[in-house]
Amino acid sequence: MERTYVMIKPDGVARGLMGEILSRIERKGLKISGMKFAVMEEAKAKEHYAEHAQRPFFAGLVEFITSSPSLSLVVEGKDSIKIMRAINGATKPAEAAPGTIRGDFAMDTGRNLVHASDSPEAAEREIKIHFGEGVLLSYMRCEDVCLYE
């Protein structure tokens, strides 16, 4: 089963969109197997966004991501990496299709609500940064838990 790292960024939390975003992930059929609500440490934010260290927006991005609580998730399911990128939509809200999180709720690239890993290597790296060796949960499938006889 493929895992990916997803973050509801501080703007998503502050705007009260955690439930909406979690709901979209769950309704699609993906499973949430890790969840951490915290203000991200600066060192973790810099490591997370290391590929952008030379970009002009890097300092502002790190400042924003560490400014207020965010919700880190581990999301699993078949093709979860590609599916989460599709649910989030294009990086620039002006290019994000309606029906995606960014297409429906975001206006600015620097305030685009969500993150999701873009490759299996990135997913492994990012889960390690944010969850370390911490135990990720597995639980019963709906089919197994919803019927009681």
- Please give the residue ranges that form the binding site for ligand IDP (CB under 6 A): 52, 57, 61, 91, 109-110, 112, 115, 118
Nearer to ligand IDP by C-beta: 31 or 85? 85
Q: Please list the alpha-helical segments (H only) found in the chain.
A: 10-14, 18-28, 42-48, 58-65, 80-88, 101-105, 120-131, 142-145
Min CB(34)–ligand IDP separation in Å: 19
d(CA 91, CA 93): 6
Min CB(112)–ligand IDP separation in Å: 5
Residue whose Cβ sits closest to ligand IDP: 91
Q: Please list the alpha-helical segments (H only) found in 8-77.
A: 10-14, 18-28, 42-48, 58-65
Which of 48, 52, 115, 130 is the catalytic position?
115
Min CB(110)–ligand IDP separation in Å: 4
Contact 3, 123 (CB under 8 A): yes
Nearer to ligand IDP by C-beta: 110 or 120? 110
Nearer to ligand IDP by C-beta: 38 or 50? 50
First to last CA, the chain: 29
Min CB(61)–ligand IDP separation in Å: 5
Nearer to ligand IDP by C-beta: 57 or 139? 57
115 is annotated as an active-site residue = yes
Contact 116, 68 (CB under 8 A): no
Contact 33, 137 (CB under 8 A): yes
Q: Cite the active site residues.
A: 115
